Structure 1
Amino acid sequence: MTFDRSIKIAPSILSADFADFGREIRAVEDQGADWVHVDVMDGHFVPNITFGPPAVAAFRKHVTTVMDVHLMIAPVDPYIDAFAKAGADIITAHVEAGPHIHRTLQAIRGAGVKAGVALNPGTPAEAVEHLLDLTDLICVMTVNPGFGGQKFIDMTAKVRRLRTMIGDRPVHIEIDGGVDPTTAPRLAEAGADVLVAGSAVFRGGSVSNSAPYGENIRAIRAAAEAALA
């Protein structure tokens, strides 16, 4: 993965057809997705259960871009190696999920994977201030994690603060939750470069009719890029 700050759209397969993940992943990539976002939930740290390492390994066979694995689980550390072996390019852990996030990020990088750290809406930017040199990505949650399709919570000020803190470090700012063409511009203008979108990408399309996926991806990208022009 070569670092750059261009706008990247990362469809969340939480909004895909669960019975047809392989073709759904190929469809969104064919329609212009830059990354594929995989939301892992444990029913403990968040009130939902999704995928384990075997499912992520199955997804990997179909992902040709970047597989961005977001661990909404606690504890995190015992599962890092399994998700790394499953083929994650990026593993993101929540700063709120355990007492030793510094150690967690060390372990992710030690497994040969890019390391991300996520912040819930109620967690300030300063929570990652001393982690920036161990981090490749900061994920700003703009919903409370657990379910797709939630209403957007405006975290623009937090994104702006993070962008200032990051400076010239090669660290992505990712937004997860409620991203669509109306919310993307303010986030991009504030400094975000990776936009996770679930329902806003998959809405109106299907594996057999994937053109709407492309229209949705292009609409989000165009809205974000226009804010940077």
Structure 2
Amino acid sequence: MGIQISPSMLSSDFANLEAEAARIAGADWLHMDVMDNHFVPNLTLGAPVIEALAKVAAQPIDAHLMIADPDRWAPQFVEAGAGSVTFHVEAAAAPVRLAREIRAQGARASMALKPGTAIEPYEDLLPELDMILIMTVEPGFGGQKFLDICLPKIERARDLIDKHGGDIWLQVDGGVSADTIERCAAAGADVFVAGSAVFGADDPDAMISTLRGLAEGHTP
């Protein structure tokens, strides 16, 4: 598995998501930020929007659930058409059971960690996961500045993944841009969520190619 770019639709025009997805044909995934105004102080979209977009977009959906009680709600996002579902370990009551349920329904199971959450206590969960998401900003809002203090955690996550083996992707989300993606790739990340960097560019699809090239040039 090579470098993958998953643009955050949070920075796109919500009035026409189908057209916005078409503008980024080179994207590997469409990253959908689901916020409930409980786990994070913002409210965005839910399963019906993902279901509608999944029917018309060429790219698969990467659903990032920044919500309370993901144990209850995450399966609905698989049913809505998401190919990858990420839950926050800080909010999950039974992360192993939840990851297994997501996988059993046919989607990739991913675990997200906020900047202040260490990866080491969750090492035993790795066999249950298809991806780990390291947040490089505090979740809740797009356009935030990248937190360099998260780079060592990306490196530690990569070491744990390599230690256990298996096809586990390592995603970073928050402040990813042409100025920061090389450091993330050098630390071991291989899936990159970029919102404002992509949709704020004059040519969003060209920016995806630029980001991919920068990351590929700094992969360990």
Could you tell me how far 1:98 is from its partner in structure 2?
2.7
Could you tell me how far 1:216 is from its partner in structure 2?
1.4
Aligned match of 2:109:
115
Aligned match of 1:200:
197
> In 1, Cα distance between the equivalents of 2:172 and 2:219?
16
Could you tell me how far 1:163 is from its partner in structure 2?
0.9
SS at match of 2:124: coil
Equivalent position amino acid for 1:11 in 2: P
> In 2, Cα distance between the equivalents of 1:68 and 1:204?
21
Aligned match of 1:208:
none
Could you tell me how far 1:188 is from its partner in structure 2?
0.7
- 8 Å contact kept, 2:185–2:219: yes
Match 2:3 to one of 7, 15, 35: 7
> In 1, Cα distance between the equivalents of 2:159 and 2:217?
21
Aligned match of 1:159:
154
> In 2, Cα distance between the equivalents of 1:73 and 1:95?
11
Q: Give 5+ residue unaligned stretches, structure 1.
A: 206-211
Matched, 1:214 2:205: yes
Aligned match of 1:182:
179
- 8 Å contact kept, 2:12–2:199: yes
- 8 Å contact kept, 1:80–1:107: no
Percent of pairs with identical residues: 46
> In 2, Cα distance between the equivalents of 1:22 and 1:220?
22
Q: Give 5+ residue unaligned stretches, structure 2.
A: none
Aligned match of 1:99:
93
> In 1, Cα distance between the equivalents of 2:132 and 2:34?
17
Query: What TM-score do you get using the length of structure 1 for normalisation?
Result: 0.91
- 8 Å contact kept, 2:50–2:61: no
Could you tell me how far 1:81 is from its partner in structure 2?
2.4
> In 1, Cα distance between the equivalents of 2:75 and 2:134?
24
- 8 Å contact kept, 1:181–1:224: no
Counterparts in 2 of 1:75-86, with a 5 A limit?
75-86=69-80
> In 1, Cα distance between the equivalents of 2:75 and 2:166?
26
SS at match of 1:19: helix
Equivalent position amino acid for 1:166 in 2: I
- 8 Å contact kept, 1:174–1:195: yes
Q: Cα deviations across residues 131-175 of structure 1 (Å, max 9, x unaligned)?
A: 100000000000000000001112111111111111222000000
- 8 Å contact kept, 1:203–1:213: yes
Matched, 1:25 2:21: yes
The RMSD of aligned alpha carbons is 1.2
